[in-house]
């Protein structure tokens, strides 16, 4: 016997587009953040914006939290259901490119369209969608929008927020909002990165960029992490803007080279630095000697470079496969996402290593060096409660360190469940109160993706009433 | 401002917060350098004026991290002078001269961020919204808060910086800002095309947009029945030289003069100046309607001193902002949902700040409500 909520849901979408059985729902119980799991109450598969609106209204009527989900690749628990059983809105059936203009360089897409698929669709006209999170083969534009996703190439091209021109979404009142950069206050910028706590996007207008004429990738290996970081600082300051500046440390190199992702990185190096130049052929070739000079100033063990597509893929293979290769170290991995000023990369990494040692956790680093976005990877065995606890403690200590060094707790993964308590490292009660008031303008009943983002406990208004239902109206 | 207007000129961040707390609910004009002194509020409606011009410190400059911190009253000129010895600059700009003084540098960073005027280099990631990475602010109810941070990549917390840029100061008072900077390229050159007829110029501009790698800026400048293209290039000498050969345009300025020089000519608009944006593909149709004087930037943002009669064609959005006039930047959102959210934001954050902005939003919402009620 179905209850009222279930009956209404069936009336809205029919039995083919609602998952009830436990096995199906279990598939949605977590995302790329391995620590927390909660099974949703039901999974709905809408095909239109109107259906999404009807689902939000139903959630409001029935007092059920609602959570949109793209591909579930989020690393901070943003797409993990809240503890209170929720209605999960699976957007896989809304993955169309609705319209686009090559000359005006925009595309209007549905939220479930996979990031890389958009570039494939517009590629024949010499365009692509620039934000490239490592998950871009699977992650969706809607998910990227919610988390303000970054990626290796955002050093030059910016984050997702720099590529969103307009969003149509259903807010926490169940009403449509069309936010446009050219129309009134910047609601687009507010919505981007709000982690699903303001509503659910139904259509997204994105900027398309011209595909670079030439791409050249350099691999420089160094005898110390400090040398690699100093080389990055030299390049950042010289006026050339590489498309990417990525560093892998020794432990990562060893894991990669022992795996199917082996890229031929020198095993005797303490760090390898990947530099990528892209743009017009004349510009790339003109900038290349200068980049080599700067790399050589820090006495590398070796430098290689290539414009050949296959060879470039090889050089990137290790970087792209690094997280997969970590599986050789321990069954689970906890990927941190702190940011520090680039001038403090080397000194911070020394401290990070000490924290890992103190907690007895295997710790490796692969990170976006150009913008100081660290990804310390804490390898642990989730079946061992003590080791899991130590990994979590080390993670929090590292995030605190990043903030004390003048940085941030998140560069691109978002807050979600993972970092909600760490928000207090950066923000005090007044800041959190401002965030709470901002959220209330979009979602006064906190029906959208609750239990995330805001820290629990303490004096924070939002935090105290973070559980949906404790307080219905702000 | 009337003679009754109370003017508060805080000399520290703490004094500024205290001042806003004392002014809670009082219709308040916020000004930084004063170049936009007549905008944002009608003189008769102002009961108080918060003058932030004494908050004029550059609080930090970290060349190696490509970022800096500045208080709201720092002038663009002071900022540029502090950055230049390090080979650094703000990617956005150059902003049109101050409408009240005619001086480019007298604009304050607080005013420029609040107004977000279109500018030749302000497109893609060069928009001001991408330069502001952190702020400390006080809202109209006297509640201070910060958002963002000091590092160039950061997604922690809601992005309240975005709400400030282009808001006209309607929601809160930005007191201190953290800015992303860029290292200037080895060579910068400003090229100017020969004069074209309208159709020919538009075709050339569109062709360059399609085929030329993204430049630092590319403006189409109209003078009645002719136009020209201004092209700002930056990069290594060899690359810039190759692009000069490719376009055949004449180099006019080099280095810092070029960086600051684009947009200077023809920026001396008089009378009503319209700002807005249009889709490059629709530009041609619009320009058929008559002689024009104005400038369109790379991605379609424009400033004109004459808009052809009648409604603009579809795809062209006109913000009826008058430089030197009395209207606030931007217009209320056309979408009813966005307007509702804007009003919620104003209610929650704005208090008595920039009262005309409030009435602007309120009246627009009331009109919409009446329309809905009628229908």
In a domain, residue B53? The reply is yes
The pLDDT, as a whole number, for residue B58 is 98
Average pLDDT, chain B: 81
Asked whether residue B343 is domain-assigned, the answer is yes
Query: What integer is the mean pLDDT of B269-294?
Result: 66
Predicted local confidence at residue B121, as pLDDT: 92
How far does the CA of residue A23 sit from the closest CA of chain B (Å)? 34
Phi, psi of B247 (to 5 degrees): -85, -30
Do B299 and B344 lie in a common domain?
A: no
Closest CA to A139 of A23, A30, A32: A32
ipTM exceeding 0.90? yes
Nearest to B163 among A147, A190, A415 (CB): A190
* pLDDT (mean) for A317-327: 89
Q: Which of A186, A340, A408 minimises the CB distance to B163?
A: A186
> Does B226 lie in the same domain as B162?
no
Element holding A336 (H helix, E strand): none
The model's confidence at residue B324, banded by pLDDT at 50, 70 and 90, is very low
For residue B247, the distance in angstroms to the closest alpha carbon of chain A comes to: 14
Whether B328 is in a domain gets the answer: no
Same domain for B232 and B308? yes
User: Residues with Cβ < 8 Å from B158, sequence gap 6 or more?
Assistant: A190, A193, A194, A435, A438, A439, B147
Query: Which residue would you say has higher pLDDT here, B144 or B298?
Result: B144
Are the CB atoms for A19 and A25 separated by under 8 Å? yes
Q: Which residues of A touch B259 (CB under 8 A)?
A: none
- Decide if B324 is inside a domain: no
* Residues of chain B positioned with their CB less than 8 A from the CB of A283: 213, 235-236, 239
Q: Is A239 exposed, middle or buried (0-12, 13-18, 19+ CB in 10 A)?
A: buried
pLDDT band at A183 (very low <50, low <70, confident <90, very high): confident
Distance CA A64, CA A22 (A): 18
Residues B313 and B192 in one domain: yes
Residue B190 has pLDDT above 70, yes or no: yes
Query: A317 pLDDT exceeds 70?
Result: yes
Residue B212 maps to a domain: yes
What DSSP element (H or E) covers A189? helix A187-191
* Domain match, B80 and B120 both: yes
Note which residues in 182-211 of chain B have CB less than 8 A from chain A. Answer: 182-186, 206, 209-210
Across the interface, whether the CB atoms of A287 and B236 are under 8 A apart is answered: yes
Q: Using alpha carbons, select from A271, A221, A217 the residue that is nearest to residue A244.
A: A217
Phi, psi of A194, rounded to the nearest 5 degrees: -85, 5
Report the 10 Å Cβ neighbour count for A117: 17
Confidence label for B333 from pLDDT (cuts 50, 70 and 90): confident
CA distance B326 to B232: 33
Average pLDDT for A449-455: 96
Q: Which of B50-59, B70-79, B139-148, B334-343 has the lowest mean pLDDT?
A: B334-343
3-state secondary structure A9-30: HHHHHCHHHEECCHHHHHCCCC
Tally of domains in chain B: 2
Measured CA to CA in angstroms, residue A204 lies from A54, A69, B257 at distances of 19, 15, 39
- Residue B76: phi, psi to the nearest 5? -60, -35
Chain A residues touching residue B149 (CB < 8 angstroms): 339, 406-408, 426
Residue A143 predicted with pLDDT over 60: yes
The pLDDT assigned to B286 comes to 66
Nearest CA distance, A267 vs chain B (angstrom): 30
Give the mean model confidence (pLDDT) for residues A175-203.
94
For residues B171 and B353, what is the distance between their CA atoms, to the nearest angstrom?
7
Q: Domain containing B151 — which CATH number?
A: 3.30.465.10
Given a cut of 50, whether residue B214 has pLDDT beyond it is: yes
B329 in a structural domain: no
What is the predicted pLDDT for the residue at A46?
A: 98
Kindly tell me if the per-residue pLDDT of B265 is higher than 90.
no
Residue B214 sits in the same domain as residue B247: yes
Confidence of residue A469 (pLDDT cuts 50, 70, 90): very low
pLDDT tens for each residue of A269-279? 999 999 999 99
Q: Do B86 and B196 belong to one domain?
A: no
CA nearest to A214 within chain B: B213
Domain boundary among the residues B278, B295, B319 is at B319
Residue A472 in this model has a pLDDT that exceeds 60: no
Which structural domains are found in chain A, ordered by start? Answer: 4-90 (3.30.43.10), 97-210 (3.30.465.10), 214-324 (3.30.70.2190), 329-404 (3.30.70.2740)
- Write out pLDDT tens, residues A340-384: 999 999 999 999 999 999 999 999 999 999 999 999 999 999 999
Please indicate, yes or no, if residue B352 is contained in any of the structural domains.
yes
CA distance A15 to chain B (A): 32
Judged against a pLDDT cut of 60, whether residue B304 lies above it is answered with yes
B353 lies in the same domain as B305: no
Length of chain A: 474
Same domain as B233, residue B105 = no
- Please compute the mean of the pLDDT values over residues B100-108 and round it to a whole number: 60
Residues B169 and B22 in one domain: yes
Does position A439 have pLDDT exceeding 50, yes or no? Answer: yes
Pairs from B360-363 (Cβ < 8 Å, separation ≥ 24): B360/B328, B360/B332, B361/B170, B361/B332
What does the pLDDT read at residue B308?
52
Closest CA to A202 of A116, A289, A113: A113
Q: Is B11 exposed, middle or buried (0-12, 13-18, 19+ CB in 10 A)?
A: exposed
- The answer to whether residue B372 sits within a structural domain is yes
**Domain span at residue B120?**
1-184+335-375
* Same domain, yes or no: B263 and B236: yes
Nearest to A442 among B150, B167, B341 (CB): B341
> What was the pLDDT predicted at B321?
38
pLDDT at B164: 94
- The pLDDT assigned to B270 comes to 54
User: In this predicted structure, which of A284-293, B178-187, B199-208 has the lowest mean pLDDT?
Assistant: B199-208
Please check whether residues B137 and B173 belong to one and the same domain: yes
For the residues A205-222, what does the mean pLDDT come to? 97
pLDDT at B223 exceeding the cut of 90: no
- Distance, CA of A77 to CA of A75 (rounded, Å): 6
The highest-confidence range among A107-121, A255-269, B216-230, by mean pLDDT, is A107-121
pLDDT at A38 over 60: yes
The size of the A-B interface in CB pairs under 8 A is 248
Alpha helices in B12-66 (DSSP H): 13-22
């Amino acid at each position: 016997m179905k209850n009222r909520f279930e009956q209404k849901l069936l009336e809205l979408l029919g039995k083919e587009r609602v998952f009830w059985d436990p096995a199906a729902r279990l598939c949605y119980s977590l995302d790329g953040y391995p620590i927390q799991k909660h099974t949703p109450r039901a999974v709905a598969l809408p095909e239109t914006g109107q259906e999404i609106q009807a689902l939000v209204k139903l959630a409001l009527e029935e007092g059920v939290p609602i959570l949109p989900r793209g591909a579930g690749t989020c690393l901070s628990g943003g797409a993990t259901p809240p503890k209170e059983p929720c209605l999960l809105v699976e957007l896989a059936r809304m993955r169309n490119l609705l319209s686009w203009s090559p000359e005006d360089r925009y595309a209007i897409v549905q939220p479930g369209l996979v990031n890389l698929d958009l570039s494939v669709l517009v590629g024949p006209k010499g365009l692509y969608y620039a934000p490239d999170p490592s998950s871009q083969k699977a992650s969706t534009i809607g998910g990227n929008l919610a988390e303000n996703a970054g990626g290796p190439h955002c050093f030059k091209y910016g984050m997702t927020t720099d590529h969103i021109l307009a969003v149509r979404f259903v807010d926490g009142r169940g009403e449509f909002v069309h936010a446009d950069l050219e129309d009134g206050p910047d609601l687009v910028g507010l919505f981007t990165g709000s982690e699903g706590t303001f509503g659910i996007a139904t259509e997204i207008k994105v900027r398309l960029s011209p595909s670079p004429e030439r791409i050249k990738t350099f691999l420089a290996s160094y005898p110390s992490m400090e040398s690699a970081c100093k080389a990055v600082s030299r390049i950042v300051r010289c006026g050339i803007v590489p498309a990417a500046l990525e560093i892998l440390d020794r432990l990562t190199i060893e894991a990669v080279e022992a795996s199917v992702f082996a890229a031929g990185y020198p095993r005797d190096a303490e760090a390898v630095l990947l530099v990528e130049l892209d743009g017009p052929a004349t510009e790339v070739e003109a900038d290349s000697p200068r980049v080599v000079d700067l790399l050589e100033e820090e006495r590398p063990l070796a430098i290689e470079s290539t414009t050949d597509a296959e060879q470039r893929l090889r050089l990137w293979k290790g970087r792209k496969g690094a997280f997969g290769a970590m599986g050789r170290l321990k069954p689970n991995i906890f990927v941190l996402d702190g940011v520090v000023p680039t001038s403090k990369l080397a000194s911070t990494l020394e401290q990070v290593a000490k924290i890992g040692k103190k907690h007895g956790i295997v710790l490796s680093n692969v990170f976006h060096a150009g913008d100081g976005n660290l990804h310390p990877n804490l390898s642990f065995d989730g079946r061992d409660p003590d080791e899991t606890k130590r990994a979590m403690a080390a993670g929090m200590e590292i995030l605190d360190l990043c903030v004390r060094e003048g940085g941030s707790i998140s560069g691109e993964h978002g807050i979600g469940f993972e970092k909600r308590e760490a928000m207090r490292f950066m923000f005090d009660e007044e800041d959190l109160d401002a965030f709470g008031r901002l959220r209330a303008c979009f979602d006064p009943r906190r029906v959208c993706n609750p239990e995330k983002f805001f820290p629990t406990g303490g004096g924070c208004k939002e935090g105290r009433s973070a559980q949906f239902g404790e307080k219905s109206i702000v | 401002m009337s003679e009754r207007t109370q003017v508060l000129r805080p000399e520290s961040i703490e004094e500024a917060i205290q001042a806003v707390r004392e002014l809670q609910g009082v219709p308040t004009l916020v000004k930084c350098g004063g170049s936009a002194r007549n905008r944002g509020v009608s003189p008769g409606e102002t009961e108080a004026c918060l003058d932030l011009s004494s908050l004029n410190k550059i609080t930090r400059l970290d060349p190696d991290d490509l970022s800096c911190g500045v208080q709201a009253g720092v002038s663009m000129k002071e900022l540029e002078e502090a950055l230049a010895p390090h080979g650094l600059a703000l990617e956005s700009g150059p902003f049109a001269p101050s409408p009240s003084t005619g001086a480019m540098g007298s604009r304050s960073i607080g005013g420029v961020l609040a107004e977000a005027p279109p500018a030749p280099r302000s497109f893609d990631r060069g928009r001001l919204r991408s330069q502001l990475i952190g702020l400390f602010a006080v809202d109209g109810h006297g509640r201070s808060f910060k958002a963002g941070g000091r590092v160039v990549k950061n997604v922690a917390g809601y992005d309240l910086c975005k709400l400030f840029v282009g808001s006209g100061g309607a929601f809160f008072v930005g007191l201190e800002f953290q800015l992303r900077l860029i290292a200037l390229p080895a060579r910068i050159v400003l090229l100017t095309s020969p004069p074209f007829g309208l159709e020919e110029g538009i075709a050339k501009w569109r062709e360059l947009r399609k085929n030329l790698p993204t430049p630092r800026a590319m403006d189409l400048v109209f003078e009645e029945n002719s136009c020209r293209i201004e092209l700002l290039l930056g990069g290594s000498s060899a690359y810039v030289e190759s692009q000069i050969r490719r376009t055949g345009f004449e180099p006019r300025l080099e280095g810092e003069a070029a960086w600051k020089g684009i947009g200077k000519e023809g920026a001396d608009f008089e009378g009503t100046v319209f700002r807005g944006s249009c889709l490059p593909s629709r530009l041609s149709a619009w320009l058929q309607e008559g002689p024009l004087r104005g400038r369109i930037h790379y991605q379609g943002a424009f400033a004109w001193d004459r808009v052809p009669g009648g409604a603009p064609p579809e795809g062209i959005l006109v913000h009826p902002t008058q430089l030197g006039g009395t209207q606030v930047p931007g217009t209320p959102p056309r979408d009813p949902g966005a307007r509702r959210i804007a009003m919620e934001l104003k209610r929650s954050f704005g208090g008595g700040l920039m009262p005309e902005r409030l009435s602007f939003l309120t009246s627009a919402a009331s009109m919409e409500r009446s329309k809905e009620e009628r229908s």
